[in-house]
A and B are shown apart, each in its own frame.
Chain A
């Protein structure tokens, strides 16, 4: 098991990211509660972050073609985190506003832009 891990390190991280992404996507598709949908989106974003970091650590090529080397992956994760924070703030604000007008947080009831 240990040898298997060391022989396929990158694959381990990537498969973990795929599973995490699938979990998040399943949450988005299945759950009706908008807050949980939003949290599932956070899961998907984190899955993406994990792939960024995995590829930064275990690159497919010897030298990064980009300025900043493989730290570019880390920079990308940094931006994703910032964007996710912004998205969570705005998303939760929208949920509050919608809840105020419809007294519901179920996305399948939000099927019209008009009240």
Chain B
């Protein structure tokens, strides 16, 4: 009961925040709505028993990454006339139609009969998340046992990204 209500609430928040990102002309509003969107998304993750990922979403995305965005927006400090108007061209319309059609196809497919119904008949052990599913221990075991090499490579990737960001943004070193 509460799950359904929360889902619709969070989903509405996610879509509202996301649409603000796309529609708002000033990027600072977009960034702030994106933070809100991410918070609601973290709520959705909790509904999906992905507790660790939900925390990471808040810490990394809503926290670190969005701070970076806001920082850059402030740094550039674009004036009103520099923000630019939304112009529709032929190709933008084509792209928009293609994007919407893709989403429609996916939604159509997801709602279709191919995906098994999770109605009361299948309200069984698979549905009820296993004990500890999505927690630090379960995800950590997967990360460190099944995916240890990509995990270590990720740290390398982050290091490279840090160095690259510094080199690119600094101009003169």
Contact = CB atoms under 8 A, between A and B. Distances in A.
B75 A43 contact: no
Question: What is the size category of the interface that chain B forms with chain A?
Answer: 35 or more
Contacts of B119: 6-8
B110 to A, nearest CB: 4
A113 interface: no
A88 B92 contact: no
A92 B115 contact: no
B118 A25 contact: no
B150 A89 contact: no
Interface residues of A, number: 81
B41 A97 contact: no
Contacts, number: 261
Contacts of A31: 22, 86
Nearest to B168: A93
A11 B169 CA distance: 43
25 contacts: A6-B123, A26-B22, A29-B95, A29-B99, A30-B95, A35-B31, A35-B69, A39-B31, A40-B22, A50-B45, A53-B50, A56-B134, A58-B126, A62-B126, A66-B146, A69-B142, A70-B133, A75-B147, A78-B139, A81-B53, A87-B161, A90-B164, A92-B169, A96-B72, A108-B87
Chain A to chain B: the 6 pairs with minimum beta-carbon distance, closest first? A22-B103, A86-B161, A29-B95, A68-B142, A68-B146, A5-B4
Interface of A: 1-2, 5-16, 18-27, 29-33, 35-36, 38-40, 42-43, 46, 49-50, 53-54, 56-60, 62, 66-72, 74-75, 77-79, 81-90, 92-97, 99-100, 104-106, 108
